[in-house]
Structure 1
């Protein structure tokens, strides 16, 4: 999980305007922070509302908890993948890409045979929705979906992204400065043992409480964080699957273990 704060400005008396929004979407809190002279403009609000509308539509289509979603109907055998909308087939292709990227450590097909793309959908959807914010290019933006973060800072002034301590969710274990890109985390602190090893079909467990990944794309960072957590002690090697990604592991004793480039800023997207 990640928390976000604006980095201190060199001249606090000239601190740019800020505005924040938060809604519960896709079963998690989704917050948006805008920073700049247009933060309180109708353009900013319209961009944010379009983000929430897009995420609500994604939830309608992909939520495994909604009986009328395409995912639920696929699970009940009421329709085939070929009969679904193009966006569902696109996500199915992205899940296949994620499985290949991670050597099978990420797999949308659960041990019970049910296709559940939730592990990919959040990062994919939030990254896609963040393009709505980028249309207001003269604002800095930070989009936080349940701890997975996308940062867009055309001003060059960073946001500070805090990495939650999995042993105490009210505490930040460490923080990094982000001018662009994404941070995603995977672990068992918030939802318990919900991750499984596709190879064995058993819940993933080991000596790590959480793995955070930063890089250009939230979708990729989210997939790599999940795969890295499943990999256990070999998690740093998983990040080599895509260029430009770095990680931080928090062990069960609370110690932090970062890859060498964890604090190196990232720019752009690799999708």
Structure 2
């Protein structure tokens, strides 16, 4: 019987779970790696959360700190946001209406991807790191995890699944947080007949960015995924119908 162990903590305002599978799942090395993952994500939330008054994002918004005085990691994320905007033709943009800056659409995927490096150091364990539905998979054994895609009309139901031996699955839509996504082209809320778009690919940072941009693109979402090789998508319509790109479901 394959050994399994799981951990769950509330970070960034959402449940983050780690599943370990393999002989080393119960080892001290696995425990240490997971604690480092959570510690890193807590620190990222401290720096980037727009809901914490003393975060860099909040201080910048209030004009209490200038860009040349923030931690270098904040400037790194800002540069990544600019690159994401260019990659998506402006469909993803951390500059929000009214002149604010909110990198949340990139930070979670970037942070989880970076924190996942701690898991890669434990070579005899397969890992599935789930940050509120955005999933990073690390499988040295090459045995896949099956990642479920939530029904945006019924959070308790899975409408599709995709096997992954590595890489990421990210989903963007309005089911969990309502109409929180905006369209940089109009400056208003993103409008689409698609309830969600899920994206698979090598990097969770880019899968998350592309999922956001794809949702904003509405019916043009499959074309957005052509911005980078190795990314595929699944869209769910309001009537429950699904549409997948040609490579969806590949490991």
TM-score bracket relative to the smaller structure: over 0.9
Shift of 1:156: 1.0
In the aligned structure 1, how far is the partner of 2:124 from the partner of 2:68? 41
TM-score using structure 1 length? 0.92
> d(CA) in 1 for partners of 2:212 and 2:249?
20
Report the TM-score when normalising by structure 2. Answer: 0.99
Identify which of 14, 23, 35 aligns with 1:49.
Answer: 35
- Which among 139, 153, 157 is matched to residue 153 of structure 1? 139
Q: What does residue 189 of structure 1 align with?
A: 175
Q: What residue is the counterpart of 1:10 in the other structure?
A: none
Shift of 1:263: 1.4
1:138 Cα offset (Å): 1.1
Higher relative contact order (CA 8 A, sep 6+): 1
CA shift digits 1:88-124 (9 cap, x unpaired): 0000000001000000000001112110101100000
Q: How far is the alpha carbon of 1:26 from its aligned partner?
A: 0.7
Within the candidate set 220, 225, 246, 2:206 is matched to 220
Over the aligned positions, Cα root-mean-square deviation in angstroms equals 0.5
Residue of structure 2 in register with 1:230 after alignment: 216
Extract structure 1 runs of 4+ deviating beyond 2 A: none
Structure 1 unaligned runs (5+)? 1-14, 266-271
Query: Aligned partners of 1:225 and 1:206: how far apart in 2?
Result: 13
Distance in 1 between residues matched to 2:249 and 2:162, nearest whole Å:
7
Query: Are the counterparts in 1 of residues 163 and 250 from structure 2 also a CA contact under 8 Å?
Result: no
Number of corresponding residues:
251
After superposition, residues 95-134 of structure 1 pair within 5 angstroms as: 95-134=81-120
